[in-house]
Amino acid sequence: MKHLLSTRDLSHDEAVALLDIAEDMSDVNDRPIKKLPVLRGRTVVNLFFEDSTRTRTSFETAAKRLSADVVNFSARGSSVSKGESLKDTAQTLAAIGADAVVIRHRASGAPMVLAHNGWIDAGVVNAGDGCHEHPTQALLDAFTIRKRRFGADSRGKDLHGIRVLIVGDILHSRVARSDVWLLSELGATVAFAGPPTLMPYDIETWPCTVYDNFDAALADDFDVVMLLRIQLERMEAAFFPTQREYANLWGLGPERFRALSPHTLIMHPGPMNRGLEICSEAADSPQATVLEQVHNGVSIRMAVLYSLLSDQEAER
Ligand code: CP
């Protein structure tokens, strides 16, 4: 694997293999000394043009646990504020010696531009581009579901037969886009629920079913219910009348939460809007995997960086 740009690029077997490497990394993360020497002398640059808590810190932690050198770049406080372009910024960091560039950018497609137009030689990992994709989030979601389902016997398994309902602002969600391709490639059945104004125009071409009523979807008893954040920062129009109405129609409030099967997993990629798409009772319940997802994100990002940089080494 030279780059990780989209979950659409991963075959079933490649995805299972990455999840299995993440299992090995997870074993390392459970040890008192959480460190491997495998990327000693390699440099990972975290190039963040958009805010992040989970993704940036977990990529940094992952790279450090593999003994790589890490450079953290954020657009705020850099020469981007003086007008420096993505090309010049990336080439500057490549000149410093980046072997891998982890990029988050508000523009959909920015990681693909970086990977494919020959500006830099480094491997590129998409850490979230606009409303397009967030592949490591989908991998950690798949890893979390698999681990909850199979526990210590997860290795080699896929998600065949698991039913996942993703609820909310699908239109602006890169997580929804990466999840639908990865989870269905792994054999899961994916459904979306949300207001019609927050559904992508081309959703009929995605491998999923769509509900326009949350309670009707919940009556179909899914194994996983994933709530998505309303992305107010990406909305240029009023997509729903009020936040109160949204919470009533599309939020996992206390009543809907208490009616769920105790076996249904409640997932959220974070950051959460408590009281809007999810109530605290649900978010803090044993069924919720919100912090487990963050924890597993380190193992997934270790697996991705290791795969990328060890394949790069093999090609030299
Ligand atoms: N899930 C996620 O991408 O969170 P951050 O925006 O905090 O990285």
Tell whether 126 and 253 lie within a shared domain: no
Q: Is the CB of 269 under 6 A from ligand 1?
A: yes
Span from the CA of 55 to the centroid of ligand 1 (angstroms):
5
Task: Identify the residue with better confidence: 242 or 315.
Answer: 242
C-alpha span between 300 and 139 (Å, rounded): 7
Tell whether 274 and 201 lie within a shared domain: yes
User: Is the residue at 2 inside a domain?
Assistant: no
Phi, psi of 276 (to 5 degrees): -105, -75
Q: Are 4 and 136 in contact (CB under 8 A)?
A: yes
User: pLDDT per residue over 171-205, tens digit each?
Assistant: 999 999 999 999 999 999 999 999 999 999 999 99
Q: Are 293 and 136 in contact (CB under 8 A)?
A: no
User: Is the residue at 193 inside a domain?
Assistant: yes
C-alpha span between 142 and 181 (Å, rounded): 11
Tell whether 222 and 248 lie within a shared domain: yes
Phi, psi of 7 (to 5 degrees): -70, -15
What CATH number did the domain enclosing 157 receive?
A: 3.40.50.1370
Task: Identify the residue with better confidence: 124 or 78.
Answer: 124
Tell whether 123 and 172 lie within a shared domain: no
Tell whether 167 and 110 lie within a shared domain: no
Mutate which of 53, 102, 233, 278 to test ligand 1's pocket (most atoms within 8 Å of Cβ)?
A: 53
The 10 Å Cβ neighbour count of residue 234 is 13
C-alpha span between 281 and 304 (Å, rounded): 34
Tell whether 213 and 240 lie within a shared domain: yes
Question: What is the number of structural domains in the chain?
Answer: 2
Tell whether 283 and 161 lie within a shared domain: yes
pLDDT score at 214: 98
Stated pTM of the model: 0.96
Tell whether 139 and 277 lie within a shared domain: yes
Tell whether 80 and 168 lie within a shared domain: no
pLDDT score at 63: 98
Tell whether 255 and 169 lie within a shared domain: yes
Tell whether 112 and 151 lie within a shared domain: no
User: Is the residue at 1 inside a domain?
Assistant: no
Give the lowest-confidence range in 21-35, 85-99, 262-276, 294-308: 85-99
Q: Which atom of ligand 1 is nearest to the CA of 127?
A: 3
Sign of the four-CA dihedral 187, 188, 189, 195:
negative
Q: Which atom of ligand 1 is nearest to the CA of 269?
A: 1
pLDDT score at 238: 67
Q: Is the CB of 54 under 6 A from ligand 1?
A: yes
User: pLDDT per residue over 51-65, tens digit each?
Assistant: 999 999 999 999 999
Tell whether 35 and 45 lie within a shared domain: yes
- Give the range of the structural domain holding residue 95, as residue numbers without chain letter: 7-134+294-315
User: pLDDT per residue over 68-96, tens digit each?
Assistant: 999 998 888 778 777 789 999 988 988 99
Q: Which atom of ligand 1 is nearest to the CA of 55?
A: 8
Q: Is the CB of 137 under 6 A from ligand 1?
A: yes
C-alpha span between 286 and 50 (Å, rounded): 31
**Tokens read off for 96:** 């410093």
